[in-house]
Amino acid sequence: AQSVSQHNHHVILSEAASLELGCNYSYGGTVNLFWYVQYPGQHLQLLLKYFSGDPLVKGIKGFEAEFIKSKFSFNLRKPSVQWSDTAEYFCAVTAKTTDSWGKLQFGAGTQVVVTP
């Protein structure tokens, strides 16, 4: 069964620092990849997604992610974080089976705290 691993459970950094969150998945076939974000008190929302094409995907609020197929990775990055980026970030993967797409599987999440 496919699995999704997020390497850091908790990250604390200062404003203007760069952020990189790791995500690896275990499925070897065709995948769709997602990063979701949950700001404090808000519901889960899509940050960015990769289906095909350019492996460098740009999302909302200055975030980007790079799909590296050989490493089964989809790391999330932001060059300079702001206090408002404090949130929990979830990597998610859905894998293609013979005739359909599987359910969305989530990583455990990374709590990011940005200090002023």
Partner 1 sequence: SQTIHQWPATLVQPVGSPLSLECTVEGTSNPNLYWYRQAAGRGLQLLFYSVGIGQISSEVPQNLSASRPQDRQFILSSKKLLLSDSGFYLCAWSGVTNYGYTFGSGTRLTVV
Retrieve residue 110's tokens: 């990374």
Residue closer to partner 1 (CB basis): 75 or 105: 105
Contact positions with partner 1 (CB under 8 A) in 35-64 = 36, 43-46, 49, 51
- Least separation in angstroms between residue 80's CB and partner 1 is 27
**If DSSP codes are grouped into helix, strand and coil, which group holds residue 60?**
helix
Phi-psi region of 2 (alpha: psi -120 to 50; beta: other; left: phi over 0): beta
Phi-psi region of 41 (alpha: psi -120 to 50; beta: other; left: phi over 0): left
Q: Which of 21, 23, 25, 107 binds partner 1 (CB under 8 A)?
A: 107
Q: Which of 19, 24, 27, 34 binds partner 1 (CB under 8 A)?
A: 34
